[in-house]
Amino acid sequence: MALGRLLHGAPHADTPGQTIGPARTYEAFVEVFFAGQRRRAYTRLVELSGARTGDRVLDVGCGTGYLTRLVAKAVGPAGQAVGVDPSPTVIEYARKKSHGAACAYETGVAEALQAPDGSFDVVVTSLAIHHIPAELRPAAMGEMFRVLRPGGRLLLADFRPPRSRVVRHLVGSLTGPAMEHNPVDELDRLAAQAGFAVRGRGDVHPWLRYVHAVRPEVAR
């Protein structure tokens, strides 16, 4: 848990979600945690999101903006990637790192997004759902649904606890119980309850489970 305490930010007035504090420490941790496979894994997430040239994409719980910057490459200068996160320190870091890219960043929370209805073609989120308290996840999913245009695409990705109990426990002792016991199988249900049509699910090596879904053209 010592590492978890080192990574986590001060409590945020707008959300009980667990925010990330020191951006550089987080970046160093994630690079080690992914053992050199972060770029490949996140590039795969971008492919799975279906983001394409000219799309407007929202990255919810964007942290340091790693995924947001890869999305910006996929959508090109005709599109835009917008990252939102409650932690001002990671948002400041993401802005500096994204200089010159088609990215914009805002502080904000998943459960009360500031964007207008139907204003995005794609919503992505990586490793953030387990930071949002369980009772707020339906509201967060409802917001992702609201800001997507009908026909818009959703890509949820979160930490898949290792199958080995020993490794799971090791991860938990380093980062905290939210990762050790992350109920990643619930991503499907969360998406469906918000009104999304789930199109598929799977794992991205080494640590991620994803679900991709569509906001139906006609409300169900």
Ligand X SMILES: C[S@@+](CC[C@H](N)C(=O)[O-])C[C@H]1O[C@@H](n2cnc3c(N)ncnc32)[C@H](O)[C@@H]1O
Binding residues for ligand X, rule: CB under 6 A, are: 15, 17-20, 30, 60-63, 66-67, 85-87, 90, 109-111, 126-128, 131-132
- Cβ 218 to ligand X shortest distance, Å: 29
- Cβ 127 to ligand X shortest distance, Å: 4
Q: Of the two residues 80 and 126, which places its CB atom closer to ligand X in the complex? A: 126
Q: Of the two residues 85 and 121, which places its CB atom closer to ligand X in the complex? A: 85
Q: How many residues does the chain have?
A: 220
- Cβ 61 to ligand X shortest distance, Å: 3
Q: Of the two residues 106 and 188, which places its CB atom closer to ligand X in the complex? A: 106
State how far the alpha carbon of 215 is from the alpha carbons of 68, 105, 143, 175, 185, in Å: 21, 24, 12, 33, 20
- Cβ 217 to ligand X shortest distance, Å: 27
- Cβ 27 to ligand X shortest distance, Å: 8
Q: Of the two residues 55 and 111, which places its CB atom closer to ligand X in the complex? A: 111
Q: Of the two residues 109 and 204, which places its CB atom closer to ligand X in the complex? A: 109
- Cβ 53 to ligand X shortest distance, Å: 23
